[in-house]
Amino acid sequence: MQKVYTKIESIVGNVITVRAEGVRNQDLAEITTSRGTGYANVIKLDGDLVSLQVFQGAQGVSTGDSVKFLGVPMRVSYSEDLLGRIFNGAGKPRDNGPELTANMIDIGGPSVNPSKRILPKKMIRTGIPMIDVFNTLVESQKLPIFSISGEPYNQLLARIATQAEVDIIILGGMGLKYDDYLFFRNTLEKSGAMSRTIMFIHTASDPTVECTLVPDMTLAVAERFALDGKRVLVLLTDMTNFCDAQKEMAITMDQVPSNRGYPGDLYSSLASRYEKAVDFDGAGSVTILGVTTMPGDDVTHPVPDNTGYITEGQYYLRNGRIEPFGSLSRLKQNVNKDTRPDHRALMDGMIKLYSAYKDSLEKRSMGFMMSDWDEKLLRYGELFESKLMDLSVNIPLEEALDLGWKILAECFEPNETGLRTELLEKYWPKEA
C-alpha cells in the first residue's frame, strides 16, 4: 500500500510541495481534492521536499489534500484500441469511451540512435499542389506551418489528415479553441478517416500543465505504432501554445527567462519533440507536421525562430495560400528526382517565372509601363494563383504537373520558359 501524504507545504502557481521520502524524479502522484482526483508529476527534489506540478492546476487545492505517489512515471496506454478515440492532455477519454489502462508506455522516452536512422526517401502525397509539386513532404520529415492567427491552418491540417497516404494519424491539439476541436472531429468523422485517427486534445480552457503533456503523449504513441511498422503522421497544433505553457511554468518555478520570457531550454524542449520524427530501418515512420503561429507575423519571435533551426523546412501560410517564397522542404531533393523526370525542372521554372511575375506586379503598382512580357507574366501569375496555389485545389501530383505545363502553354512560347529543350519536346502540350 502506498503511503498517503496529507500535508502540502506550499502551493505556488500550479506547483505544490510536500515532504515525502523515497520519491523518484518525474514520478506520477495522485492528488485528491474536494473537486475529485487528479494527477501531478514530480519535477524537483530537494531533501525531503518534493515539488509536483498539478495537471489540473492548483486552483482549489487545499493544504490538507492528500497526495499519493504511484511509483511510476507519466504513462499512456498503447494498443490498437486507441484508434478512433479522443483523449485530453492527461490521457483521459474526452469521448465518453472507456478509459484505457492496458499496456502502459512511458512518455518522453530516449532519443533514437543517429546511426540507426536512415535517409528519408519516400514521398507523402497530399493532393495539394503547393506541397506535392513545390515543397514535397517526405516521410519522417518534421515541418511546421508558419502562420498568423486567423489563417486557415487548421483547415489545412484537417485536409492533409484526410488525404495523406499514411496508415495512422495522430492529432495533438494544444490550446485549441473548442470550435476548432469540434471542427477537427466533425471533418475527420465525415471523411471516414476517424477510424485511423487518434486525438489528444487540450483546449484553451483546459489546465496549462496538460498542454505541455500533449506532444509527449502524442509522440510516444506515434513512436510505438511506427515501431510496429505503421506510417504515422503526427499533426501538432499549435506549438506556440505549447511554448507559452512552458514559459508560464518556467516563470512559476522562478527560472531565469532568456528571451522574451521564454525559458533558456526552449530550443532543447522543442528539439526533443520534433526529433521524434524518424524513419526506422525495417519498421515504420513518424512524420510531424506542426503549426507555429507567429505572434505579430514576426519570424524572429523566439518560437518560430527556434523552430526554424530544428525543423527540416517550413510552409508559410499567408492570405490563405502556401507561399512559394520562404516555404522550403529541405528533404524534397531526396524524393522529387524519382517522381517524374520533369518534376524538378518544372518546379524551378515555374517558381522563377512566378518571381518575375511578382516583379512585374510591383512595377505595375508603381505605375510603370507594362511590356508584352509583363502582360504575359501577369496572366501567368493569375492562372498560377487560381489554379495551383489555391488551397481548395485537390489533384494528384501527376495531374498537377500536367496542369503546370498547361498553364505555361497558355501564357508563353516554349523558349520563354527557360526549360530544357528535351523536356519541352516531351511535355509541352500539343495543339489540340
Which of 271, 286, 353, 401 touches other proteins by CB under 8 A? Answer: 271
Half-sphere exposure of 259 (CA within 13 A, CB side): 12
**Contact between 62 and other proteins per CB under 8 A:** no
Interface stretch with other proteins, choices 86-94, 116-124, 237-245, 374-382 (CB under 8 A): 116-124
Rounded to a whole number of angstroms, the minimum distance from the CB of residue 258 to other proteins is: 4
Place of cell 521524434: 276
DSSP SS3 for 325: coil
**Contact between 91 and other proteins per CB under 8 A:** no
Tell me how far apart the alpha carbons of residues 103 and 220 are, in angstroms, rounded to a whole number.
Answer: 13
Would you say how long the chain is, in residues? 432
Rounded to a whole number of angstroms, the minimum distance from the CB of residue 29 to other proteins is: 13
Q: Which residues contact 114 (CB under 8 A, 6 or more apart)?
A: none
Half-sphere exposure of 388 (CA within 13 A, CB side): 30
Residues 311-370 that bind other proteins (CB under 8 A): 312-313, 325-326, 328, 331
Here the cell at position 232 is 504515422
Q: Which residues contact 13 (CB under 8 A, 6 or more apart)?
A: 58, 248, 249, 252, 253
**Contact between 102 and other proteins per CB under 8 A:** no
**Contact between 295 and other proteins per CB under 8 A:** no
**Contact between 429 and other proteins per CB under 8 A:** no
Spell out the alpha helix ranges (H) of 313-371. Answer: 332-335, 343-365
Q: Are 160 and 419 in contact (CB under 8 A)?
A: no
Here the cell at position 240 is 506556440
Interface stretch with other proteins, choices 87-95, 182-190, 264-272, 337-345 (CB under 8 A): 264-272
Torsion of CA 77, 78, 81, 85, to 10 degrees: 70
Rounded to a whole number of angstroms, the minimum distance from the CB of residue 94 to other proteins is: 27
Which of 48, 165, 398, 422 touches other proteins by CB under 8 A? Answer: 48
The burial class, CB within 10 Å (0-12 / 13-18 / 19+), for 248 is: middle
Looking at the Cβ atoms of 158 and 266, the one nearer to other proteins is 266
**Contact between 371 and other proteins per CB under 8 A:** no
Q: Which residues contact 25 (CB under 8 A, 6 or more apart)?
A: 42, 43, 45
Which of 2, 3, 12, 21 touches other proteins by CB under 8 A? Answer: 21
Tell me how far apart the alpha carbons of residues 352 and 213 are, in angstroms, rounded to a whole number.
Answer: 43
**Contact between 3 and other proteins per CB under 8 A:** no
Which of 98, 102, 205, 256 touches other proteins by CB under 8 A? Answer: 256
What are the C-alpha distances in Å from 17 to residues 25, 209, 212, 254, 405?
Answer: 13, 16, 20, 14, 66
Which of 267, 394, 395, 409 touches other proteins by CB under 8 A? Answer: 267
Looking at the Cβ atoms of 369 and 432, the one nearer to other proteins is 369
**Contact between 296 and other proteins per CB under 8 A:** no
**Contact between 122 and other proteins per CB under 8 A:** no
Which of 229, 264, 418, 429 touches other proteins by CB under 8 A? Answer: 264
Q: Give the distance between the most distant pair of CA atoms in the chain.
A: 85
Looking at the Cβ atoms of 80 and 281, the one nearer to other proteins is 281
Which of 97, 257, 341, 414 touches other proteins by CB under 8 A? Answer: 257
Looking at the Cβ atoms of 199 and 250, the one nearer to other proteins is 250
Looking at the Cβ atoms of 235 and 286, the one nearer to other proteins is 286
**Contact between 297 and other proteins per CB under 8 A:** no
- List of residues contacting other proteins (CB under 8 A): 21-27, 44-48, 73, 108-120, 227, 255-259, 263-265, 267-268, 271-272, 275-276, 280, 299-302, 305-306, 308-310, 312-313, 325-326, 328, 331
